[in-house]
Chain A
Amino acid sequence: MLGLARIGTVFAGTIDEGTIYRLPTPPRSGPKYRYMTVSDNMDDTRATDIITIGNLRGARDRLKKKPRRGVGLEVLISPVRKLDGQGTARWFQDLYELYSFCRSSGQQFILSSGAESFQEMVAGSCMDAILESCGIDARRHWNDLNLWLDQKLMTRVAQS
């Protein structure tokens, strides 16, 4: 309904085929579901698939010191709802800078709703509008993200 082909969510015990689960650490035995490890610690680039960036300001400089290709750098939309116009405009600028950094350094840029309920989710069309508002080609972004996800999940299946 929201135009989202894949959804990532916290693992709550029940397995849904189309969902990619977000885990803080990799499970001990080979799980029967698809997962990604997520952390909000920027110094933790070696152990995790996705790093959630809370504060976009200065994130690029901090991440430059921890080079590791193929890590997903995730930015959440939900905290931006609380920002005023000026803060949001700055966020848009930082978002584009992070996107450029990701493209030049081989990291994967991820824009996520950060939703904790259905009413906080962001539709695909709104995601596209946000991306285009900051000068990012939405179609290219989704293609890159799909490729990155498939690659990550494929290596995981091969390992388990």
Chain B
Amino acid sequence: MLKRKPKRRYISVMRRASDAEALSALVKRHSELFGHLSLGKAAVRLVRPSENGVMVIRCNLGQLSPVLTSIALTDPAMVSLALSGSLKRLGDVKNQAKY
């Protein structure tokens, strides 16, 4: 049996609420719009807690589009700043939060 690691995407997200509140709002919105099955497949996780209001989350590549849609349509509003296949390339979160 092949043990293939699923491909993931790391997204830096600027948010107003706390990390826990923002993540819970995102998860709720995702399940409202795309269902629990898609949410399970997406495996959205908080990877890096916020620095200057920017947190880093992770999701599976196959569900990237629903996750990005949910980010754009979540209340309170949050902005996806950068997207990458590795944490290293996502860049310095501090630099992204200058706005």
Q: With CB as the reference atom, state the residue of chain A lying closest to B32.
A: A85
Residues of chain B in range 47-81 having any CB-CB distance to chain A below 8 Å: 64-69, 71-75, 77-81
Q: Does A125 lie at the interface of the complex (its beta carbon under 8 Å from any beta carbon of B)?
A: yes
In Å, the complex CA distance between A128 and B16 comes to 23
| Contacts A129-B66, A133-B65; A119 near B77 (Cβ below 8 A) | yes
Q: Is the CB of B33 within 8 A of A129?
A: no
Residues of A in contact (CB 8 Å), total 25
Q: Is the CB of A2 within 8 A of B69?
A: no
Count of CB-CB pairs between chains A and B under 8 Å: 65
Q: Is the interface of A mostly helix, strand, loop or mixed?
A: helix
Q: State the Cβ distance, B32 to closest chain A Cβ, in Å.
A: 3
In Å, the complex CA distance between A115 and B77 comes to 10
In Å, the complex CA distance between A89 and B96 comes to 32
Q: Is the CB of B82 within 8 A of A80?
A: no
Q: Does A121 lie at the interface of the complex (its beta carbon under 8 Å from any beta carbon of B)?
A: yes
Q: With CB as the reference atom, state the residue of chain B lying closest to A129.
A: B68
In Å, the complex CA distance between A117 and B99 comes to 10
Give the residues in chain A near B81, CB-CB below 8 Å: 1-2, 123
Give the residues in chain A near B32, CB-CB below 8 Å: 84-85, 88
Q: Is the CB of B80 within 8 A of A125?
A: yes
Q: Does A122 lie at the interface of the complex (its beta carbon under 8 Å from any beta carbon of B)?
A: yes
Q: Does A82 lie at the interface of the complex (its beta carbon under 8 Å from any beta carbon of B)?
A: yes
Q: Does A127 lie at the interface of the complex (its beta carbon under 8 Å from any beta carbon of B)?
A: yes
Q: Is the CB of A133 within 8 A of B74?
A: no
A-B contact list, 17 entries, CB within 8 Å = A1-B81, A2-B81, A81-B75, A85-B33, A88-B32, A88-B73, A119-B15, A120-B77, A122-B79, A123-B72, A126-B80, A129-B64, A129-B66, A129-B72, A130-B69, A133-B66, A133-B69
Binding site for A on B (CB under 8 A): 14-16, 32-33, 64-69, 71-75, 77-83, 96, 99
